[in-house]
Structure 1
Amino acid sequence: MADRRQAAVVDIADVEIIAPNFKKRLSGVTSTIIQLIPVQRALGQKVAALGPGLPIDLPHIRFRDLLQLWTAPRGRRFRIWHARRNIEMLPAIFMRDILRMKLKIVFTSASQRRHSGWTKWLVSRMDAVIATSGRTADYLEVPNSVVMHGIDTARFSPPADKAAAKRACGLDAGKNVVGCFGRVRHQKGTDLFVDSMIRVLPSRPDWIAIVAGRATPQHISFENDLKDRVAAAGLAARILFVGEHTNINDWYRTLDLFIAPQRWEGFGLTPLEAMATAVPVIATDVGAFPELLVTGENETGVIIPRDNLQAMADAAAGFMDEADRRHAASARARAHAMEKFSIEGEAQRLNAVYMSV
Structure 2
Amino acid sequence: MAASRVDPKQVLVVVPNFKKRLSGVTSTIIQLVPLQAQKIGIATLGPGLPDHLPKLTWWQVPALLKRPQGAAARVWHARRNPEMLAGVVLRDILRAPLKLVFTSASQRRHTRWTKFLIRRMDAVIATSRKTAAYLDVPNTVIMHGIDLERFHPAADRAEAARVLGLDPGQLYAGCFGRVRRQKGTDLFVDSMIDLLPSHPGWSAIVAGRATPEHRAFEDDLKARVARAGLSDRILFVGEHHDIERWYRALSLYVAPQRWEGFGLTPLEAMASGVPVVATDVGAFSELVEDGVTGTIVPRDDLAAVKASLSTYLKKLDLIAYQGKNGRARVTSHFQLSGEAERIVSIYEGLIRPWP
Q: TM-score, normalised by structure 2?
A: 0.95
User: Which deviations, in whole Å up to 9, do the C-alpha atoms of 1:289-340 show, x marking residues without a partner?
Assistant: 11111113xx101110111111011111111211211111011101111221
Gaps of 5+ in 1: none
SS at match of 1:69: helix
1:209 correspondence with 2:181: no
1:269 is aligned with what amino acid? L
* SS of the residue 2:37 aligns to: helix
Say whether 1:31 aligns with 2:27. Answer: yes
SS at match of 2:62: helix
Q: 1:264 aligns with which of 248, 255, 259?
A: 259
How many angstroms does 1:7 deviate by?
A: 4.2
Q: Give 1:355 deviation, angstroms.
A: 2.0
Looking at structure 1, the residues matched to 136 and 128 of structure 2 have their Cα atoms a distance apart, in angstroms, of 15
1:232-278 CA distance string (max 9 Å, x none): 11212211111111111110000000000111111111111100000
Q: Name 1:253's counterpart in structure 2.
A: 248
Alpha-carbon offset, residue 8 of structure 1: 5.3
Contact persistence 1:8–1:57 (CA under 8 A): no
Q: Could you say what secondary structure the match of 1:25 adopts?
A: coil
Structure-1 separation of matches of 2:26 and 2:190: 32
Matching of residue 327 in structure 1 with residue 320 in structure 2: yes
State the 1:63 CA deviation: 2.4
One-letter amino acid of the counterpart of residue 191, structure 2: S
1:125 alignment counterpart: 120
Distance (whole Å) between structure 2 residues aligned to residue 106 and residue 219 of structure 1: 34
* C-alpha separation in 2, matches of 1:326 and 1:57: 38
Tell me, yes or no, if the aligned pair for 2:2 and 2:54 is still in contact at 8 Å. Answer: no
- Structure 1 equivalent of residue 331 of structure 2: 338
TM-score, length-normalised on structure 1? Answer: 0.95
What residue in structure 1 maps to residue 10 of structure 2?
14
Q: Give distance in 1, aligned partners of 2:325 and 2:281.
A: 22
Mean alpha-carbon deviation: is it higher for 190-199 or for 59-68? 59-68
Greater mean alpha carbon deviation, residues 149-158 or residues 5-14: 5-14
Give the Cα separation in 2 of the matches to 1:208 and 1:70.
Answer: 57
Query: Aligned pair 1:61/2:61, yes or no?
Result: no
1:56 CA displacement: 2.6
1:39 partner amino acid = L
Match of 1:45 among 40, 44, 60: 40
Partner residue, 2:342: 349
State the partner residue of 1:161. 156
**Partner residue in 1 for 2:310:** 317
Task: Give the alignment of 1:51-200 within 5 angstroms.
Answer: 51-200=46-195
Q: Percent identity?
A: 59
1:94: Cα distance to partner?
A: 2.3
Higher RCO (CA < 8 A, seq sep 6+):
2
Farther off after superposition, 218-227 or 78-87: 218-227
Pick closer, same or farther for the CA change 1:7–1:75 going to 2, 3 Å.
Answer: closer
Say which SS state the counterpart of residue 294 (structure 1) adopts. Answer: coil
Question: SS where residue 278 of structure 2 aligns?
Answer: strand
Q: CA RMSD in A?
A: 1.5
Are the equivalent residues in 2 in contact too, given 1:9–1:62 (CA < 8 A)?
A: no
Structure 2 Cα separation of the partners of residues 216 and 88 of structure 1: 25
**Whole-Å separation in 1 of the counterparts to 2:281 and 2:275:** 17
- Once residues 179 and 309 of structure 2 are traced to their aligned partners in structure 1, the CA distance between those partners, rounded to angstroms, is 20
Of 202, 217, 223, the match for 1:228: 223
Distance in 1 (alpha carbons) for counterparts of 2:65 and 2:184: 48
Counterpart residue type for residue 307 of structure 1? D
Q: Is the 8 A contact 1:8 1:58 kept in 2?
A: no
Give every structure 1 segment of 4 or more consecutive aligned residues whose post-TM-superposition deviation is greater than 6 Å: none
User: Does the CA contact (< 8 Å) of 1:23 and 1:53 recur in 2?
Assistant: yes
Instruction: Give the residue type in structure 1 aligned to 2:53.
Output: L
- Secondary structure, counterpart of 2:182 in structure 1: coil
Are 2:278 and 1:283 aligned? yes
Is contact 2:2-2:53 (8 Å) kept?
A: no
- 1:153 partner letter: L
| Whole-angstrom CA distance in 2 between matches of 1:91 and 1:190 | 36
Tell me which amino acid in the other structure corresponds to 1:83.
A
Structure 2 unaligned regions, length at least 5: 351-355
Distance, in Å, in 2 between the alignment partners of 1:279 and 1:71 is 49
- What's the CA shift string for 1:59-95, capped at 9, x where partnerless? 1112232322343222222101101111111222222
Question: Residues 8, 57 of structure 1: CA spacing in aligned structure 2 closer, same or farther, 3 A cutoff?
Answer: farther
- Equivalenced residues, count: 350
- SS of the counterpart of 1:165? helix
Which residue, out of 296, 302, 305, partners 1:303? 296
Q: Which moved more, 1:110-119 or 1:277-286?
A: 110-119
What one-letter code is carried by the residue in structure 2 that aligns with 1:332? Answer: N
